[in-house]
Each structure stands twice: as structure tokens, then as C-alpha cells.
Structure 1
């Protein structure tokens, strides 16, 4: 039974390239029966994050924050370089004050996506670094998001900070802390022993999260489908641009490893689009939500493609290895 469970988990890992778009289509086409379960997404994410957390101890986190430059570099690329690119593209294609431009910029300034941590672990990146970046960026989001919106568009943006922090605590902070505690108490052996049970369930939950997210955005996708053709190329470019930025970013660092390239590329390429959708619909016109909806649709398939390319074309070696 243990071998079958672990084999299933491995099968899901290998099949992400086709499983992810299949789950997206399933959620979009058969959205009605899934809609009542959309509120369960934070709880599913909490379990997934907990499973990842039990593989990470205090020593891992200490090592991450002892070298903060990868975190600083990722946040600068994600929330400065990418928004500038989004604003430039939107201004040229739609005009600086267009709702589509607002949506493109909004996509780039919302926090790093929790799902990036899943892809980082699946692809052999640094789980501790990925979690640290998501945690820090999420904590900064009440300042970063409205500040950058005001910088680019001169408009103040306010939102329910307490609600946002509650969801972030539920999905990331609490399960991660619990996982770290269990890791420390078990000496790192808990995940090894409980893996045959924990891992298959986390993969099922991961697929459910994709389905439920797709079901949740289906009404908006159908309503705005007439506008999609005008925005699709720019969204595809921006999402892919994030992965490329993250992959090339470690070239600026003295210590660059394949693990670092994997981690930063997924972190810089993925965003918390659920939050972006809420902000777009709550504070701007429906057209501003179009880029965010499209980003939700293309982010996961491009993640699978990015993972495939990482496996086929190994990331660059570190400078240390070049001189060894």
C-alpha cells in the first residue's frame, strides 16, 4: 500500500504538464457542481503547505535569512521590474489609463503565489527559500499593493487588510509553523514515516485547488470572453517574462546554483491571482479583471512547461563549480 501511495504521488509529479490544464478545463466546463466548494480552497492550501512545512526545520530557515540577497532580488524583480514592463506594454497597446493596463500592473504587484512553493518543491528547488519569500511578500502586501497602484496610477487603493492577513495566516503562516514544529520534534523523521499518507492526499488536494480556482473564475471568463483576444498576448508575455526574469536573476549573484534558479524562477513567475481577482473586481472595472483571469488560466500551464524546460535544459552551474 505504501509503495502504491508513493507511486501515485510520483505519477502526479511527472504528469503535471497535462494534469494541470486538464484540471483547469474540468473546472471551467463543469463549474456549477464545484462552485459550492470554492470556499474550501484556503483549507486545502493549508494542508498542502503543512505537508511541505514538515520537511523544513529552523536550521533551513536560518540559512535562508543568513543570505537575504536572493529574497531581495526576487522581490525587486517581481514588484519593480515586472510592473514597469506591464505598465509599458499596457500603455503602448491600450493606453496608460486603460483598465486593461491597470489589470496588467495589478497582476505584477500582488503577492507571490503560494502555489509557487508547490512547484519549487516538485522541481527540486529550495522549499525554505520559497516559503520565506512568500511569507515576507505576503506580509508586505498591504503596503506594496496600494503603494504601487498609487505610484503608477495616482489612485489610492484600500482593502480589508484583516481579512487578507487572516487568509494568509490560515494558508501559509500557521500550517508552516506547525510543520516546522513537528519537523523539529521528530528530528526530521515525521515526513519520512508519514509520507505514504501525507503526500498522495496533498497531490489530490493540489488538483482540487486547480479545479476549484477554475470553477471560481468561470463566470468572469464567460462574461468577458469577448475581450480575451486583445489581452491574451500581453498576459502570456508577462507571465513568461516572470519565469525568465527569475531564471536569469541568480546570474547577478555570486552564488548561483540550479536549486536557486528553480526557486527564484517559480517564485517570480507566479502570483496570488485569487487576491488579484478580488481587488480587480472590487476596486476597478470588470475589464481590469480580464488580465488577472487570463493569468490564472495560463500561469499553471506555463509552470508545467517551465518545469519541463528546467528538466530538459539543466540550469547553469555556480561560479564555485566553474572554478573547481
Structure 2
């Protein structure tokens, strides 16, 4: 995915004329991606998080209140309050936690059941969170049919999520290993298609963005890094490495493909540019963060061993 996502962006730009007629298929492709994620999460995992909601509530507050406010302030003072780029930066922070977060949390020693349950629940809450956040921050700057947006989110996120969880329950968890060899590769292809099609949709507007990129790229990198930092610092009082890793990845990564769908469907095409940039930024930053966590863990382990020797 580290190579395929930027590659699909390039293909979308170069073959935009050919791909533009297929842009209408994006919501359906994304709904399938959501479904394949949800079939790995059963009701027991959701109940375990709900019974102890403190970590989940804290994570969602950081992800959808602290981060959007930071995005708004950074964008406002860099591009001006009326810039579509500000909306794009805020939209990145408002969209649900990313599906790929599960992979990084597992590889970095976090809690996979916790992040999986949080991703599913946050996706289900997105019809409320995204419209509310946009309305609160841009009520004078952005004209948006929040009811229609909530309905579309329900159709492309909530409905596939509910179906996936029900399938997991009805098969007692057997469906995921059974369909994984076929469903997972197809899900990745659908995700790549979403990226390529949305790149094709904004390609006609890309020619005049060269000067803006000098500001947009470092601002986007800074915002993604800040989202990780907010989660890492916010979870520090827990004094639990597993939860700190989980929370920091959750606040740092978002469901970018959904962000692109919303940016293209409801805002100026320029709004999608910061969201598209974060696609290329998220995975490299996740890799660097993984290595930083490993070094920090080894350093703490070394100090603990030294104390025991003394």
C-alpha cells in the first residue's frame, strides 16, 4: 500500500479523462471496503469497549475536537478563513479513524481488539460527528446540506458496518478467515480505485496548485504529526504502553478514502487536495512512528534492566 497509493494517485491524474465517467462508483467501492473491515469485529469486542468507555471517549475527544480545532487554526492563519484548504484540513481531522490503523497497532504492540472496536464505533458515529463539526466551525463560510451528508454517511459507512458485524456474529467469527483470501485483496483494489478515481476528479484543477503546494505539503505533514502527538501525550497519564500505542495511532490515522469521497461530493474540488496529500503522508509517518516507538520501548527496557542490576 505504501507504493500502490501514490501510484494510484499518479494514474488517476494521468488518465483522468478515461476515469471521470466512473467517479460515480466511488461510494459503492468504499462501502465494500467498510464491509470487509467490519466482518472482523463482533458484538463482544464492541461490548468490551463500551463497558470501559474511558479510553474510547478520550480518544474520540482528541481525534474529533482537539485535532479539528488545531487544523482550523493552522489553516486559518496560513490560508485565510475562507480558503477551501482550511475545510480540507478540518475534514481530515473529523473523518473516522482509519481502517489501516488496525494493522499498525498490531505491529507496534497495541491492543487490536480495542482499536478494531473503536474504528467500528467511530465509523458508526460519523454521520453525527462530521456534519456537526463542519457546521460548528464553518457555519458562516460553508453552505452544506448536513442532512444529506448524514444520510450518505449512513449508507456508505454505517450500513456496511452493521452488516459486517451481524455477519461476524451469525457465523461466530468464522466468516473473516473464510473470505479473507478473496475479500482482502479485492478490498485493497477497491481502495486503490477510490484513490485513483478521486485523483481523476480533481486533476482538472491541479494545474494551478503548484504555488499552493509549497505551503500545503509542510502544513499537511505538520497536522498529521500533531495528531499523533496529541494521542501520545493524551494517553500518557494511563501509564500503559499498549493503550498509549493504540490511542496515538487512532488519533494519528484517518479513513482518508472516506474523506476524499466527502470532499469531492460536498465541497469545492480544492477541498480534496489536503485530504489527498494526507494519503501519501499517513503511511510514511506511520512507519516512522513505528520505529520511534520501538526505539523508545527498547530504551525504557534497557533502563529498567539497568535498575534491576543495580
Tell whether the structures are fold-level matches, with TM greater than 0.5.
yes
Matches within 5 A, 1:57-96: 57-94=42-79
Count of aligned positions: 288
Contact 2:64-2:94 at 8 Å conserved across structures: no
Structure 1, 24-33 or 267-276: larger mean CA deviation: 267-276
Contact 2:102-2:116 at 8 Å conserved across structures: yes
- What is the match of residue 119 of structure 2? 130
Contact 2:98-2:256 at 8 Å conserved across structures: no
- What is the match of residue 82 of structure 2? 99
Return the alpha-carbon distance in structure 2 between the equivalents of residues 269 and 202 of structure 1: 15
CA drift at 1:42: 1.2
- Check if 1:121 corresponds to 2:106: no
Return the alpha-carbon distance in structure 2 between the equivalents of residues 218 and 265 of structure 1: 27
CA drift at 1:61: 1.0
CA drift at 1:134: 2.8
- What is the match of residue 9 of structure 2? 24
Structure 1 residues 105-148: Cα deviation after superposition (integer angstroms, max 9, x where no partner): 5522566445x432113323422111212322432333221112
- What is the match of residue 298 of structure 1? 277
Return the alpha-carbon distance in structure 2 between the equivalents of residues 307 and 231 of structure 1: 19
Return the alpha-carbon distance in structure 2 between the equivalents of residues 307 and 110 of structure 1: 16
TM-score using structure 2 length: 0.79
Structure 1 residues 196-242: Cα deviation after superposition (integer angstroms, max 9, x where no partner): 12112112112112111211221222344443334433233223322
- What is the match of residue 109 of structure 2? none
RMSD over aligned Cα atoms: 3.0
Matches within 5 A, 1:197-236: 197-236=182-221
SS at match of 2:3: helix
Contact 1:31-1:218 at 8 Å conserved across structures: yes
CA drift at 1:69: 3.0
CA drift at 1:268: 9.4
Contact 2:20-2:201 at 8 Å conserved across structures: yes
TM-score using structure 1 length: 0.76
Contact 2:27-2:261 at 8 Å conserved across structures: no
Structure 1 residues 240-261: Cα deviation after superposition (integer angstroms, max 9, x where no partner): 3223333443224354513343
- What is the match of residue 312 of structure 1? 291
Contact 1:50-1:176 at 8 Å conserved across structures: yes
- Check if 1:39 corresponds to 2:24: yes
Return the alpha-carbon distance in structure 2 between the equivalents of residues 199 and 122 of structure 1: 13
- What is the match of residue 253 of structure 2? 266
- What is the match of residue 143 of structure 1? 132
CA drift at 1:72: 2.9
Any stretches of 5+ residues in structure 2 without a counterpart?
107-111, 305-310
Q: Aligned pair in 2 of structure 1 residues 122, 38: CA closer, same or farther (>3 Å)? A: farther
Return the alpha-carbon distance in structure 2 between the equivalents of residues 268 and 196 of structure 1: 23
